[in-house]
A and B are shown apart, each in its own frame.
Chain A
Amino acid sequence: NAGVTQTPKFQVLKTGQSMTLQCAQDMNHNSMYWYRQDPGMGLRLIYYSASEGTTDKGEVPNGYNVSRLNKREFSLRLESAAPSQTSVYFCASRPGASGQDTQYFGPGTRLTVL
């Protein structure tokens, strides 16, 4: 059981470039999430998918798009990267959308935008 996996682990982009962060989980979870973590701030929700086929905006969705490719995979796309998007990105999943379920996090992707 790999849990939640993310690729790549590190990425450096130039302003204006695009890229897709990949996330996959092998726990048969219904809900998946994308967060960003910046120094001195708590984790902030970018987008989430409560179930396959649905996606919703979180607290900080501007500049991002997501795709729930299937039950296992949830990708995050930056269409035109900006220095303000320099951050550590975490993908997470949990069995359902209930607040009682524990979220399981991936190892993170460290993104630098120059």
Chain B
Amino acid sequence: KNQVEQSPQSLIILEGKNCTLQCNYTVSPFSNLRWYKQDTGRGPVSLTIMTFSENTKSNGRYTATLDADTKQSSLHITASQLSDSASYICVVSAQAGTALIFGKGTTLSVSS
């Protein structure tokens, strides 16, 4: 069964600190993996997208990595800001299909 598991479920860090969120998937055949940011009360917004051949993709202070062999991805946030407080959702797309498989998300709280 195609699944996307994220960890941790929630995380609290101090402003300025770094953090890493994890995503493991069992989607096959794999097409691409996205990380979305969802602010409270808003719709998800795409941060990065990586295909099978890409190991790393950056978007400002956000860096996503992908290991297609172990079917793992991580999202690293550098020098966190209060505005990084949000839910981060890992989404995997299977080849030749329109369906996206969503993880349940990691809720990040950045405190001052």
Contacts and interface: CB of A to CB of B under 8 A. Distances in A.
Interface of A: 4, 31, 40-45, 48, 50, 58, 90, 92, 97, 99-100, 102-108
B104 A31 contact: no
Contacts of A42: 4, 89, 101-105
B98 A97 contact: yes
The size class of the interface chain B forms with chain A is: 20 to 34
A99 B93 contact: yes
B75 to A, nearest CB: 16
B43 A108 contact: yes
Interface of B: 4, 31-32, 34, 41-46, 49, 51, 89, 93-105
26 contacts: A4-B43, A31-B98, A40-B104, A42-B89, A42-B101, A42-B102, A42-B105, A43-B44, A43-B89, A43-B102, A44-B102, A45-B99, A45-B100, A48-B98, A90-B43, A99-B93, A99-B94, A99-B97, A99-B98, A99-B100, A100-B49, A103-B46, A103-B100, A105-B44, A107-B41, A108-B42
Given A45-B99, A107-B42, 18 more contacts: A41-B104, A42-B101, A42-B104, A42-B105, A44-B102, A48-B98, A90-B44, A99-B31, A99-B32, A100-B31, A100-B93, A102-B34, A102-B46, A104-B46, A105-B45, A106-B43, A107-B41, A108-B43
Contacts of B44: 43, 90, 105
